[in-house]
Amino acid sequence: MKSGSNLERVLAAGQFAVTAECGPPRGADPEKVLKKAEFVKGNVDACNVTDNQTSVVRMSSLAGCLLVRQSGTEPLLQMVVRDRNRIALQSDLLGASALGVRNLLCLSGDHQKFGDDPQAKNVFDIDSIQLIHLVKTMRDDGVFPSGEKLDGAPKFFIGCAVNPFADPFEIRVPRFKLKADAGADFVQTQCIYNMDTFTRYMEEAKKMGLHERVKILAGVTPLKSVGMAKFMNKMVAGIDIPEPVIKRLADEPKEKQAAKGIEMCIEQIQQLKEMEGIAGVHVMAIEWEEKLNEIIGGAGLLPRPVVDEGETER
């Protein structure tokens, strides 16, 4: 075991893993996190806590992780390289590991232009792929990237994100390979709506054997309405919602669209579960955490397995 995290154990045992995410609040109220975490509890193997997503200032990811754990769910720390140089990154990694956080997702982070503080200085000292390498070096070699020996190596199950729908398509799998080469243990994908493109992506990834090196968790987000679908398709870079998907929602009367969105999400999870090389799903129910149980249960993925350390030693 590299980290001993629950997520790592579930995946190592060959179980189909489930993760979700919690966005920390725009304030210091811990109850907000605990409330969201209640919806997550029991439905997932680990729960991502986002790191100032879209550059909007929120409670820190590490604090959110501790609150999520307090409520009984294993946290997964998201860390972006937008706001911290390599000194702060290393320091926060050591701190997170010391506090018992065992899952990590290495990201570049949305440009600060999108958030509250577009005038902020951006850091990008190293990029997300170099962050993967940095964590792996610290974990496996027990040294800082500078070469100095660590007084106790951090333990992380190292994750990364990929977006099969961003451009150029031809570089998406090679870029995934770079993340595998850098040391990623698992990957969570951007929300998938275009299954054709994703299937092509997976074919390429499998040709390179990436599914054998990195556990692939397919990202899904239930659509609440046609409006949401159209908005995401148009406004969010790297989201591709094909017309037939939008049409299926549009064919429903307004009040039934949310239920349809959940039904479609469940259907999609079941499809993904049958795909070779998919090790789990990452369910991003954006501001809709209360539906996680319905979605994950509906997909037949409950209860979540309990895997002891011993069962994975093979």
| Residue whose CB is less far from another protein, 73 or 90 | 90
Contact (CB, 8 A) for 103 and 3: yes
**Token digits of residue 291:** 């539906």
| 182-201 footprint of another protein as x/- string (CB under 8 A) | x-------x-----------
Contact (CB, 8 A) for 272 and 16: no
Within residues 234-293, the interface with another protein by CB under 8 A covers 237-238
| Residue whose CB is less far from another protein, 59 or 214 | 214
Per the omega criterion (within 30 degrees of 0), is the bond before 168 cis?
yes
167 sits near another protein (criterion: CB under 8 A): yes
Within residues 116-145, the interface with another protein by CB under 8 A covers 122, 124-130, 133-134, 145
207 sits near another protein (criterion: CB under 8 A): no
CA distances in angstroms from 300 to 4, 31, 156, listed in the order given: 26, 30, 29
Exposed, middle or buried by CB within 10 Å (0-12, 13-18, 19+), for 252? middle
Least gap, CB of 114 to another protein (angstroms): 8
**Token digits of residue 305:** 């397995």
Cβ neighbours around 174 below 10 Å, total: 10
Least gap, CB of 168 to another protein (angstroms): 6
**Contact with another protein (CB under 8 A) among 69, 82, 155, 291:** 82
Q: Which positions lie near another protein, rule CB under 8 A?
A: 82, 86, 108-111, 113-114, 122, 124-130, 133-134, 145, 161-163, 166-168, 171, 174-175, 177-178, 181-182, 190, 237-238
